[in-house]
Structure 1
């Protein structure tokens, strides 16, 4: 793409952000003189882009109100954020109970995908091909480049050279990425680990420098990345062990909790279900339990830990005050 063409497209992107921009401001942003800005505006008008010229002290250029300008121009981070948000909203395309709003979200995701530049489209395709959402959410990580690189490696069956940081310790290792899973606001990659020789699960936000390694590998037949991640998280020695009892059928409690969150079993008292969860932080647990009890219209007893019981009482007082 020639530099003048790139600047014309940059001008279009600036104008799409809304408002009226002076010729001097646009010239400074684009690194050209005001006369060149006027020439770029003429190029846009030749393309039937309705750029309006506003006269006066606070005049300049703006797009006609209500005008929608294709193509969409996203950075890598923006494209991933938009697509993941739409796909989360769309749900399972095979679900016959999907609402019109969910179908519209799926259609919008397809349209966004079609207008992405080729290299970015291929990266996003790799992510959508290998990613699994275990809890209905698709978080956008701070380091989108790492997410896209890991997805590309998982689809191409290429090993990754990574530096993994945990508890302040950094360890270099080679990981064969079998799959990517989003679970409760975090991304995880699972695969064979060179240091332990076992299948391990790693949080993406704990991976430092990441680069593609040499060669390829094969994923074990029937490997279930989602199940592997959930099993790994369940076995993690979390800081807090949460135990609570809910006066409701086990099936009703399970249906209202995020998949893989913890264990739900019949309690010794008939008509009650016992919920056991291991977590690193209690910050979000009171709201979860309160919402569960409110949704079921059921009694709730927090058994452990004591700190959680105090937090649930504090939440109740705040709700009553509200």
Structure 2
């Protein structure tokens, strides 16, 4: 769908919410100029036969004619199938809102009006479909909170949120949100916590209320909420801080230590420019060189098998305990191989 067409449909949604909307308000919500809003209104009236009324006066603008309702939603067979499969995938991965009820009732409504042949084909597909993962069991976010935060991100408006952290402590915060991220079955919002002046990430299912505040804020330069979320996971507080140097490509390392687990930085010798502090872009996957790998973990016993599977030269900078675990792991593999060879002879 082209952007002008999407904006025309967004304009219709805004008018459907009721009341009179000024040209200035509509222009701000759509991110266009006033004359463009008037052109979009003409498209609604002329091309889609939507009765939009022009209201004159100080508080004038546009509104839908009283009593107007959109016709029932019509879907093609392929569109209906796509919606149903999307609802199924959303329920399994946890990326739905307000629990399973809304998704289940929506699925039931669509299935009731499907042609018999298509419903039979859908049932055949569902019977044959298998998933490699288990169904997600997550607390879904409130849809009102999700939509409020998404609107604030788009229009750069501060929000007040009520948040409960993992220890059960409740607080009210003012946030400058810059992104909503879906990751591993959960929803997150990233942005600056105004009170402390630092970037923070909040789980949406722990937000009980979100209200848009007056004013606006400047968007951060080159904001990448998804990447910042993953880097936050990789550097979250844990018992052990691990620093490695691994010789390989970004792709080779990421295959075993994904972004949610480890942070990759360029490595430089101390006599050049220190240790290197710039995170490595995952797009730069081809070049093979020494890379600094940083991660935090509650336990270390899972790392020796990962490093062995990586099969690349590496240096353990810290902690000393990891060196001992890697050495013991290598000794066990050697003893297993020796015992197998002696048993065969």
Q: Structure 1 length normalisation: TM-score?
A: 0.43
Bigger-Rg structure (1/2): 2
Q: Structure 2 length normalisation: TM-score?
A: 0.41
